[in-house]
Structure 1
Amino acid sequence: MQLFVAVTDNDWFALHASKQSVDEVNFWRPSPEANFKVLQPGELLLFKLKSPNDSIAGGGFFTRFLQMPINMAWETFGEANGVRSLPEFRSRIARIRNVTMQVADNPNVGCIMLAEPFFWPKSEWIPRPPEFAVSNQVGKTFDSEEGAGRRIWDAICERLKRSPASLLDQDTATVAAIESNGFGKPQIVHPRLGQGLFRVLVKESYSRKCAITGERTLPVLEAAHIKPYSMVMRHEVSNGLLLRSDLHKLFDEGYLTVDPQDRRVVVSRRIKEEFENGKEYYRLEENVLREPTEPWARPSLENLEYHAYNVFR
């Protein structure tokens, strides 16, 4: 397993560490040309604080890297960006880039999205390893199976075992990492997603197109839960559909569903009965659902059955 020890802004860390719980963070990079290909989903990015702290103080499980406009990154993650407001976000990026940024400017920012983050108290911080040069202002990759990487991993694992109970539930990335003992590739356990990551991953899995109509106007596309979140208490891409906002509303209220077997749209007669309208929606009847190419992201049969037989009427 690879570990990436990333130089981390002290203020960014302090805001997250001040909260009682954080379920996702955006470890952003200010450059619109930024990229990140170091980690696979499920591997660890660790927060190495700048001087005078100069210690590894926490981390999170890598989920996805995307370039996103600043406004969209704020709308998606809010304070999970490590700032209190959109103006502060814009100001901090402008300061790092050494440019003047107007209120209407909306350039891209590199988003390294992390799930199941952890922030240790100072007594738990790991001193900067000697192999991590003081002059390094970006980060360094370590192999958790050998040398310095093994020492870092052992220290991390010891601390992960003391994580809050929610992160030690079955099927979390935290448990998968502990059980791997740092060897091999990450197990195929997707980190427990926060709401922002769920929205991003659903949008990307559906190639930013409505699953029913193919609509590509991003501001009107929403990530819908197939089985209500209040029942499953987890954000899982296989329980999501990317829908145009009006279809999302109708789906949630049981006016339309997807046949679990043939994956075709079914529209309730209630629309005509209750509103004496609905021609636009009846035209969608029998449309085949546009599903993600990745098997793990496709709507599960169980979730579709629940909606068709319990929500739709």
Structure 2
Amino acid sequence: MKAYVGVTDGEWSDFLAQRPEINEVNFWRPSSEHGFNVLVPGEPFFFKSHYPENRIVGGGFYSGFARLRLSEAWTLYGEGNGAASLDGMRRRIGFYRKVTIAPGEDPIIGCILLRDVRFFPYEERPEPPRDFKSNIVQGKSFDLGTHGEAEYFQYLLSRLIGHEVDVDLSVSWHRPGPVYGDKRLAPQRLGQTAFKAVVLNAYEGRCAITGSRIRPVLQAAHILPLPKGGEHRLDNGILLRSDVHTLFDRGYIGIDSKYRLMVSPRLRDEFGNGNEYFQCEGKEILTPRRRRDRPNAEFLEWHADTVFRR
């Protein structure tokens, strides 16, 4: 297991510490130049305050990274961005960029997305790891399987989860939940809001079937629905235009395990149209660049066997 200790803005952490009902947060970065691939979903991310306090103030579990426009981050996370308003968030981003961001501007920011967040009472905030140097500006990763302070990180995890746990630090930890398919290959589940963000990011803001880039009508669809045992996982998601999402959920269109579009004849029989889909039948849909982010073949086969109207 790996963990990351990120240096937090005091205004951001104080704002969220006063709102314990917010479970998912955006640990945003003012620039989107650098991604974040240190952790896998489910691994812990801790918040460290600046000097002179220099304490671990809380943490959460990593859900993913996305490059989002300021307005998109606000629409998805609202106060989970650590600000009371969109204007307040814009002001903080401008402060770190050392520029004034006008109300009409919509810059792209880096978003580290976290779930199951908890902040510690002020008088119960632990010191940071002993090898966390004072000149570290953004943060530092730790391999807990080889790190010398295993008991320290066990303690931090217990504080974060809310009760004492004995975790095997040689493997990734995640909260239990239903997993469909081979558990050995299953990436960890994401937060509900993060699911929308990382699917949008992985598909580069394009509908997988139509190629539409009109973001207000794009939706993160689940291949295996949550009531059927699906989870908020990137490989269980696909970005679809809202009307295409409806057709997919109702089985009028499907996707085979080789990412080719399937169109049910019942679309034409029942409604007398759907030519735009029949023209694309058998063609490969748009998929994320990284193979591991693409739809899980088992989930697609479940949809084809159970939902698709043959």
TM more than 0.5: yes
Gap regions ≥5 residues in structure 2: 175-184
Q: Do the aligned partners of residues 141 and 229 (structure 1) sit closer, same or farther apart at CA in structure 2, a change above 3 Å counting? A: closer
Contact kept? 1:23, 1:193, Cα under 8 Å:
no
- Are positions 1:110 and 2:107 aligned together? no
Q: Do the aligned partners of residues 110 and 86 (structure 1) sit closer, same or farther apart at CA in structure 2, a change above 3 Å counting? A: same
1:212 match: 209
Give how far 1:142 is off.
4.7
Range 217-226 or range 98-107, more displaced? 217-226
2:83 match: 83
Range 185-194 or range 227-236, more displaced? 185-194
Q: Do the aligned partners of residues 110 and 294 (structure 1) sit closer, same or farther apart at CA in structure 2, a change above 3 Å counting? A: closer
1:196 match: 193
2:61 match: 61
Contact kept? 2:67, 2:201, Cα under 8 Å:
no
1:1-313 equivalences under 5 Å are 1-31=1-31, 33=33, 35=34, 39-42=38-41, 43-50=43-50, 53-122=53-122, 124-128=124-128, 131-132=131-132, 138-142=138-142, 144=144, 145-147=146-148, 149-150=149-150, 152-160=152-160, 162-163=162-163, 179-181=167-169, 183=170, 190-232=187-229, 234-259=231-256, 263-292=259-288, 294-313=290-309
Could you say what secondary structure the match of 1:105 adopts?
A: coil
Give how far 1:193 is off.
0.9
Question: What is the rounded CA distance, in whole Å, between the counterparts of 2:203 and 2:31 in structure 1?
Answer: 26
Could you say what secondary structure the match of 1:127 adopts?
A: coil
Question: What is the rounded CA distance, in whole Å, between the counterparts of 2:36 and 2:247 in structure 1?
Answer: 39
Q: Do the aligned partners of residues 146 and 311 (structure 1) sit closer, same or farther apart at CA in structure 2, a change above 3 Å counting? A: closer
Q: Do the aligned partners of residues 39 and 288 (structure 1) sit closer, same or farther apart at CA in structure 2, a change above 3 Å counting? A: closer
Give how far 1:126 is off.
0.8
Give how far 1:114 is off.
2.6
| Matched residue type, 1:75 | T
Contact kept? 2:224, 2:230, Cα under 8 Å:
no
Q: Do the aligned partners of residues 143 and 269 (structure 1) sit closer, same or farther apart at CA in structure 2, a change above 3 Å counting? A: closer
Deviations 1:113-139 (A, max 9, x none): 234433334454213456545676544
| Matched residue type, 1:40 | L
Gap regions ≥5 residues in structure 1: 165-174
Question: What is the rounded CA distance, in whole Å, between the counterparts of 1:240 and 1:263 in structure 2?
Answer: 13
Question: What is the rounded CA distance, in whole Å, between the counterparts of 1:20 and 1:154 in structure 2?
Answer: 23
Deviations 1:80-99 (A, max 9, x none): 21223322211222234343
Aligned residues: 297
